[in-house]
């Protein structure tokens, strides 16, 4: 097709809608990583002694670690001394008591991003915690949630108000020694969300966190902890955007999920950090550790739509510790321009009759490189463990790459593990067929991609599914194969 | 350098090399480089991604005693006839502990231009060929082989030529002392449109903890068609390390079958380079392990040209505390449009203590390709056993039939009738004396 190159170019040049910068006075720490920085962050948040100790231990451990080289991504070494580890919008006096007192500029920012923070957002029926650089600026629907006994607040607030819960669970799923970026996060994490669902409670609304990086030269290190007590249920969504800048910014988050007996946690992500330009300049380095642990009969389901970031390096995992527990992973990863993604999951089967499902859809376009990397591990005692994995890759254009690196380790004879993967491109015959039926080539591509991703969209909460579908359409604009 | 010197009195590879250096020969520069490369890297550990599941402890525990001189043990033709494939009408080339035995070999008259001989007598002529295909491999065992190899097969088929009969390469390990290490090097060169069948057997005539390190380089010309069957059935105390480097030309067809039944630790590194369009490459393997055996197949199929097909099929039957390891990487470079690649690894676990590790990988830089891979791990299907029981078969026979069928998926791909039938029977017999049938 003649138009092929033109449209690919157009596609690569398509705009990043969320690239604006909010002009707000902020308080940033000088770049650098040392004990004083950790102490500063801890003091700023008025943290108890045990937490500061924990952070310092993490820092000490971090200094001995080396940056991992195994992912299928290329980037210049990150200078950890050149990053500011704390940045927050400047507060007047003691800070806002409620959302009404929050700086209108911040509210405007979220308005512009399409995230309704105001109580009129009641219609949307979603409670939101908004994190701006290193600080949470407000959480909606706190009272309504409190009635149900649900705690939903920033993790800094949780440290103050519910220290016993934080202390009990923080670092139990992702210890501070876990991996390079998780260790860094443990030392310098700034804010994030904390969710606690009491026993037997079904959270009355969807919970959501919206992460926004604004300040330049900063890294965002958020930490999210979700605890679902016995027989409870929660659905949690997260979204992320950042301004367009020429330099790379680091985002190293840790998310820990604890699903106690019979509990269910559904965690959905739409990640749309600034991806950088077609030359690979700028964009967010998204190095994230996400892991959940399932007790007896519990279920954790990860759904992710990854369209942003210059580099995504992320493996939401489930440790199926309890008998009959279930882990799920549904992922769409789109790499375009010069984006690189190395993402997948780990399913660790420890308990009996544990089940896991992995559905991963990778789409590569432009000069994007997309890798699926996953581990399915069945321990000796995981009798009758079941796993089904499916990893499909779609290639659009001839400069991109799609890779699959699954690891399977089975130590139990009654385990049943199936892995399938396919790689293909959108067929000219498919597009031709759609053209015949009167569809424009672009619409045909969108339709085919949406069909390709359908199994994952189905897993998203409805509003999110529509959002995600639009996001994919926008990202694919002009990509006629 | 980690632990080749576990035994204080045994020489290290560096010390042992003095004798090689003394012997000299046209390949001394290659041998020296090999030693230097090995000294630099040492034995891999499980921290190396490529050796993650394969601990070399069984090897590291042994002294390093390369069998640089032929042994004086005597065998006769009758003994050799009794081994697997011994009765087929083939040309036979026998190597004992890495040294050619002309007494045991049986080579008929070959058509013009065909060479079936040992390689040690033609080193000067092969100076530029040996290591030309394996040189870029980081694997330290290739470096070690460069330094210490004693002999191996040289097979050359000219353009449009064919082998008169299948060639059976027999590698016997007879050394009685633990740590004796045979280093074997094979060079196989099939010209354009050449044809042939090659069988490679690795067997032991003793129970000593010996090791074999074999490096095979095969160059396959345009339109050539080669079938290569490797049968490894060494004693359970041995270590078997093999590397196969193949470069294929336009429209060539190469089928490599690997049966890994023996050795305490066996590793097959397979490196296929599909350099020209229209190639069909089949890698087909079966591993059956028991007690504390470990069988590892590690392959990279490099699609460097358009319109090539590659298929990898590996089935494993794992019993007792044994472990099966599969690593398969299909690399499709950006020029390799219209690639059709398929990779499957199936594992049958028979015991509570056996482990399967599988890593089927795709690395794709071209868009117009069809690549699939699949991996399964599981036990025998209860429904299938039940079905056979309803047909009047006892459980034991039902299980054996299903396992035989599972192995048969691989064995059936061997084109040579006689060899396929013999292997099929051999698998059936091996399954018979297994306790897990009950």
Q: What burial class does residue A371 get, using C-beta atoms within 10 Å of its C-beta: 0-12 exposed, 13-18 middle, 19+ buried?
A: buried
Quote the DSSP letter at residue B122. G
Confidence (pLDDT) at B214? 97
In DSSP terms, which residues pair with A191 in a beta bridge? Answer: none
Q: Specify whether the CB–CB gap between A264 and A258 falls below 8 A.
A: no
For chain A, state the CA radius of gyration. 22
SS3 B238: coil
Comparing A337 with A6, the larger pLDDT belongs to A337
Interface touch A404/B349, C-beta < 8 Å: no
Quote the DSSP letter at residue B111. P
Q: Quick: pLDDT tens for B37-63.
A: 999 988 899 988 899 999 998 888 888
Q: With a cut of 60, say whether residue A10 has pLDDT above it.
A: no
d(CA A192, CA A152) in angstroms, rounded, equals 11
Q: With a cut of 80, say whether residue A54 has pLDDT above it.
A: yes
Interface touch A405/B374, C-beta < 8 Å: no
Interface touch A423/B369, C-beta < 8 Å: yes
Q: Strands B265-274 and B239-248, how do they pair?
A: parallel
| DSSP character string of B269-334 | EEEEEE-STT-EEEEEEEEEE-TT-EEEEEEEEEE-SSS-EEEEEEEEEE-TT-EEEEEEEEEE-T
Number of residue pairs across A and B with CB atoms under 8 Å?
Answer: 117
Interface touch B378/A72, C-beta < 8 Å: no
Q: Quick: pLDDT tens for A326-382.
A: 999 999 998 888 889 999 999 999 999 999 999 999 998 888 899 999 999 999 999
Interface touch A401/B363, C-beta < 8 Å: yes
In DSSP terms, which residues pair with A153 in a beta bridge? Answer: A194
The dihedrals phi and psi of A258, each to the nearest 5 degrees, come to -125, 115
Interface touch B354/A399, C-beta < 8 Å: no
d(CA B269, CA B407) in angstroms, rounded, equals 21
Confidence (pLDDT) at A465? 75
In DSSP terms, which residues pair with A331 in a beta bridge? Answer: A304, A360
Share of chain A above pLDDT 70, in %: 84
d(CA A118, CA A68) in angstroms, rounded, equals 42
Residue of B nearest to A396 (CA): B367
Comparing A331 with B435, the larger pLDDT belongs to A331
Angle between helix axes A35-44 and A49-62 (nearest 10 degrees) is 150
Q: Specify whether the CB–CB gap between B333 and B369 falls below 8 A.
A: no
Q: With a cut of 90, say whether residue A384 has pLDDT above it.
A: yes
For chain B, state the CA radius of gyration. 21
Domain limits of chain B?
13-276, 380-438
Residues of A with Cβ-Cβ distance to B337 under 8 angstroms: 398
Angle between helix axes A441-457 and A428-436 (nearest 10 degrees) is 110
Cβ-proximal residues to A115 (8 Å cutoff; 6+ apart), any chain: A128, A130, A210, A239
Confidence (pLDDT) at B9? 61
Residue of A nearest to B335 (CA): A398
Q: Specify whether the CB–CB gap between B410 and B257 falls below 8 A.
A: yes
Of the candidates A225, A291, A293, the one whose C-alpha atom is nearest the C-alpha of residue A260 is A293
Cβ-proximal residues to A264 (8 Å cutoff; 6+ apart), any chain: A228, A232, A233, A234, A298, A299, A300, A301
| DSSP character string of A34-79 | SHHHHHHHHHHTT--HHHHHHHHHHHHHHTT------SS---PPP-
CA distance B352 to chain A (A): 5
Interface touch A405/B355, C-beta < 8 Å: no
Ranked by mean pLDDT, the top range of A31-40, A102-111, A162-171, B429-438 is A162-171
Q: Quick: pLDDT tens for B259-280.
A: 999 999 999 999 999 999 999 9
| pLDDT mean over B84-104 | 90
Tokens of A73: 């991504």
CA distance A466 to chain B (A): 28
Q: With a cut of 70, say whether residue A425 has pLDDT above it.
A: yes
Q: Specify whether the CB–CB gap between A41 and A188 falls below 8 A.
A: yes
Q: With a cut of 80, say whether residue A116 has pLDDT above it.
A: no
Q: Quick: pLDDT tens for A356-369.
A: 999 999 998 888 89
CA distance B289 to chain A (A): 14
Tokens of B382: 């209860």
Q: Specify whether the CB–CB gap between B58 and B178 falls below 8 A.
A: no
Residue of A nearest to B336 (CA): A398
CA distance B77 to chain A (A): 44
d(CA A150, CA B298) in angstroms, rounded, equals 51
Q: Specify whether the CB–CB gap between A215 and A186 falls below 8 A.
A: no
How would you label B46-60 residue by residue, b for 16+ Cβ within 10 Å and e otherwise? Answer: eeeeebbbbebebbb
Share of chain A above pLDDT 90, in %: 40
Interface touch B369/A425, C-beta < 8 Å: yes
Interface touch B363/A72, C-beta < 8 Å: yes
Confidence (pLDDT) at A442? 80
Q: With a cut of 70, say whether residue A118 has pLDDT above it.
A: no
Q: Specify whether the CB–CB gap between B211 and B238 falls below 8 A.
A: yes
Of the candidates A2, A98, A83, the one whose C-alpha atom is nearest the C-alpha of residue A37 is A83
Comparing B190 with A452, the larger pLDDT belongs to B190
Cβ-proximal residues to B344 (8 Å cutoff; 6+ apart), any chain: B312, B313, B314, B360, B373, B374, B375
Q: Specify whether the CB–CB gap between A28 and A84 falls below 8 A.
A: yes
- Residues of A with a Cβ under 8 Å from any B Cβ are 70, 72, 378, 380, 393, 395-425
Cβ-proximal residues to A304 (8 Å cutoff; 6+ apart), any chain: A268, A269, A270, A271, A314, A316, A330, A331, A332, A333, A343
- What integer best gives the mean pLDDT of chain B? 91
Ranked by mean pLDDT, the top range of A90-94, A288-292, B19-23 is A288-292
Of the candidates B264, B160, B257, the one whose C-alpha atom is nearest the C-alpha of residue B201 is B257
The dihedrals phi and psi of A76, each to the nearest 5 degrees, come to -65, 155
Residues of B with Cβ-Cβ distance to A416 under 8 angstroms: 376-379
The dihedrals phi and psi of A443, each to the nearest 5 degrees, come to -65, -35
Using CA atoms, how far residue A335 sits from A12, A362, B170, in Å, is: 11, 8, 51
Using CA atoms, how far residue A49 sits from A38, A42, A54, A168, A223, in Å, is: 12, 9, 9, 15, 18
Q: Which of A72, A401, A408 sits opposite B377 (nearest CB)?
A: A408
Comparing A475 with A13, the larger pLDDT belongs to A475
| pLDDT mean over B224-235 | 96
Q: Quick: pLDDT tens for B130-187.
A: 999 999 898 999 999 999 999 999 999 999 999 999 999 999 998 888 899 999 999 9
Cβ-proximal residues to B422 (8 Å cutoff; 6+ apart), any chain: B84, B85, B88
| pLDDT mean over A82-109 | 67
SS3 A118: coil
**Matching residue, tokens 């890294």:** A219
Q: Which of B357, B375, B378 sits opposite A415 (nearest CB)?
A: B378
**Among A8-17, A271-280, B266-275, which is the least confidently predicted range?**
A8-17
d(CA A333, CA A394) in angstroms, rounded, equals 10
Q: Which of B367, B369, B377 sits opposite A415 (nearest CB)?
A: B377
Quote the DSSP letter at residue B134. T
Q: Quick: pLDDT tens for B393-418.
A: 998 899 999 999 999 999 999 999 99
Q: What is the ipTM of this complex?
A: 0.78
Interface touch B357/A407, C-beta < 8 Å: yes
Confidence (pLDDT) at B324? 96
Cα B21 to the center of its chain, rounded Å: 28
Interface touch B374/A418, C-beta < 8 Å: yes
Angle, CA of B408, B414 and B418, to the nearest 5°: 100
Ranked by mean pLDDT, the top range of A463-467, B24-28, B388-392 is B388-392
d(CA A29, CA A12) in angstroms, rounded, equals 35
Share of chain B above pLDDT 90, in %: 71
């Amino acid at each position: 097709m003649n138009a092929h190159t033109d449209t690919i170019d157009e596609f690569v040049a398509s705009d990043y809608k969320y690239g604006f910068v909010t002009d707000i006075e902020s308080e940033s720490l000088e770049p650098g990583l040392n004990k004083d920085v950790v102490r500063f962050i801890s003091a700023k948040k008025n943290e108890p002694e045990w937490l500061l100790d924990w952070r310092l231990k993490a820092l000490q451990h971090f200094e001995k670690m080396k940056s991992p080289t195994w992912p299928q991504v290329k980037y210049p070494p990150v200078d950890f001394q050149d990053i500011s580890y704390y940045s927050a919008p400047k507060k007047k006096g003691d800070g806002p008591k409620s959302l009404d007192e929050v700086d209108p500029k911040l509210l405007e920012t979220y308005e512009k991003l399409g995230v309704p923070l105001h109580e009129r957002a009641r219609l949307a029926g979603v409670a939101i915690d908004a994190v701006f650089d290193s600080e949470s600026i407000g959480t909606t629907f706190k009272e309504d949630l409190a009635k149900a006994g649900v705690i939903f607040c920033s993790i800094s607030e949780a440290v103050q108000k519910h220290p016993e819960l934080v202390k009990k669970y923080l670092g139990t799923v992702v210890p501070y020694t876990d991996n390079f970026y998780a260790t860094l996060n443990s030392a310098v994490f700034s804010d994030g969300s904390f969710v606690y669902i009491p026993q037997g409670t079904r959270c009355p609304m969807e919970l959501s966190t919206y992460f926004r990086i604004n300040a330049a030269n900063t890294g965002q290190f958020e930490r999210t902890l979700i605890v679902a007590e016995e027989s409870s249920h929660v659905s949690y969504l997260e979204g992320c955007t950042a301004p367009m800048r020429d330099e790379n910014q680091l985002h190293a988050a840790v998310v820990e999920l604890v699903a106690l007996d019979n509990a269910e946690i559904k965690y959905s992500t739409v990640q749309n950090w600034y991806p950088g330009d077609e030359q690979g300049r700028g964009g967010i380095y998204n190095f994230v550790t996400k892991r959940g642990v399932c007790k007896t009969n519990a279920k954790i389901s990860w759904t992710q739509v990854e369209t942003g970031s210059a580099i995504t390096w992320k493996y939401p995992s489930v440790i199926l510790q309890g008998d009959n527990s279930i882990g799920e992973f549904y992922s769409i990863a789109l790499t375009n321009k010069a984006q690189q993604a190395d993402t997948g999951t780990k399913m660790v089967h420890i308990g009996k009759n544990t089940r896991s499902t992995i559905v991963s859809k990778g789409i590569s376009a432009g000069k994007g490189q997309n890798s699926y990397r996953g581990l399915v591990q069945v321990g000796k005692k995981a009798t009758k463990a079941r796993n089904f994995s499916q990893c499909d890759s779609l290639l659009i254009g001839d400069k991109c790459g799609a890779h699959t690196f699954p690891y399977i380790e089975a130590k139990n004879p009654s385990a049943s593990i199936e892995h399938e993967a396919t790689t293909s491109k959108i067929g000219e015959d498919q597009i031709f067929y759609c053209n015949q039926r009167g569809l424009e080539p672009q619409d045909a591509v969108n339709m085919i991609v949406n069909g390709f991703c359908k199994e994952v969209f189905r897993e998203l909460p409805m509003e999110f599914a529509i959002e995600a579908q639009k996001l994919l359409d926008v990202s694919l604009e002009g990509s006629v194969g | 350098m980690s632990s080749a010197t576990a035994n204080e009195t045994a020489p290290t590879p560096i010390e042992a090399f003095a004798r090689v250096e003394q012997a000299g020969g046209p390949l001394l520069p290659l041998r020296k480089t090999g030693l230097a490369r090995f000294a630099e890297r040492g034995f891999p550990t499980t921290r190396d991604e490529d050796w993650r599941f394969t601990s070399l402890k069984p090897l590291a525990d042994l002294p390093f005693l390369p069998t640089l001189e032929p042994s004086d043990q005597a065998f006769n033709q009758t003994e050799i006839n009794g081994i697997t494939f011994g009765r087929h009408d083939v040309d036979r080339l026998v190597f004992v502990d890495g040294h050619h035995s002309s007494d045991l070999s049986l080579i008929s008259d070959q058509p013009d231009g065909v060479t079936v001989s040992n390689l040690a007598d033609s080193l000067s002529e092969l100076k530029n060929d040996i290591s030309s295909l394996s040189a870029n491999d980081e694997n330290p065992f290739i470096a070690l082989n460069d330094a210490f190899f004693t002999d191996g097969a040289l097979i050359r088929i000219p353009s449009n030529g064919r082998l008169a009969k299948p060639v059976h390469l027999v590698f016997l390990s007879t050394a009685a002392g633990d740590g004796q290490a045979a280093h074997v090097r094979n060079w196989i060169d099939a010209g354009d449109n050449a044809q042939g069948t090659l069988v490679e057997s690795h067997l032991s005539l003793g129970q000593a903890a010996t090791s074999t390190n074999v490096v095979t380089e095969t160059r396959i010309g345009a339109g050539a068609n080669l079938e290569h069957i490797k049968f490894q059935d060494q004693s359970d105390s041995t270590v078997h390390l093999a590397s196969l480097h193949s470069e294929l030309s336009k429209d060539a067809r190469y089928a490599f079958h690997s049966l890994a039944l023996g050795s305490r630790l066996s590793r097959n590194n397979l490196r296929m380079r599909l350099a020209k369009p229209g190639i069909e490459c089949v890698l087909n393997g079966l591993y059956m392990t028991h007690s504390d055996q470990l069988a590892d197949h590690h392959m990279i199929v490099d699609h460097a040209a358009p319109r090539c097909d590659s298929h990898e099929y590996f089935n494993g039957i794992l019993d007792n505390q044994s472990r099966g390891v599969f690593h398969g990487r299909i690399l499709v470079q950006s020029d390799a449009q219209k690639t059709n690649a398929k990779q499957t690894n199936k594992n049958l676990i028979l015991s509570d203590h056996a482990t399967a590790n599988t890593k089927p990988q795709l690395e794709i830089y071209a868009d117009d390709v069809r690549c699939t891979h699949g991996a399964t791990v599981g036990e025998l299907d209860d429904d299938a056993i039940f079905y056979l029981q309803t047909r009047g078969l006892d459980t034991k026979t039902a299980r054996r039939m299903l396992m035989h069928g599972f192995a048969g998926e691989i064995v059936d791909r061997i084109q040579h009738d006689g060899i396929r039938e013999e292997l099929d029977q051999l698998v059936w017999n091996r399954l018979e004396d297994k306790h897990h049938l009950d």
